């Protein structure tokens, strides 16, 4: 896909995701679970609430994986210019 995206003049989403991942990791270090807080704080609060539910998509490492995917989607939304 990288070769195709370069050929089409599109940005490489893998390269774009690395700085986003670093920023998300920094935000997670600063955030505490808060149901009334920002996106990360609310997500962490839901992860805490679902900690005992092994079928929840908010549970443990699966929860972090889903959080990263959601946050990357939010950051990348609208970044590809279709001139």
Q: Tell me the pLDDT tens digit for each residue of 16-68.
A: 677 777 887 888 888 898 999 988 899 889 988 998 898 888 888 888 888 88
pLDDT for 21 equals 78
- Write down the pLDDT at residue 18: 76
Which residues are CB-neighbours of 7 under 8 A, at least 6 positions away? none
Rounded CA-CA distance 13/46 in Å is 28
Q: Model-level pTM?
A: 0.66
Q: What is the dihedral of CA 43, 45, 48, 49, to 10 degrees?
A: -100
């Amino acid at each position: 896909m990288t070769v195709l995206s370069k050929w089409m003049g599109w940005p490489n989403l893998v390269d774009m995701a690395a700085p986003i991942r670093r920023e998300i990791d920094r935000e997670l270090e600063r955030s505490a679970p808060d149901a009334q807080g920002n996106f990360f704080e609310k997500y962490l609060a839901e992860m805490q609430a679902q900690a005992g539910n092994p079928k929840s998509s908010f549970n443990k490492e699966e929860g972090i994986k889903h959080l990263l995917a959601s946050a990357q989607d939010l950051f990348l939304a609208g970044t590809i210019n279709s001139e």
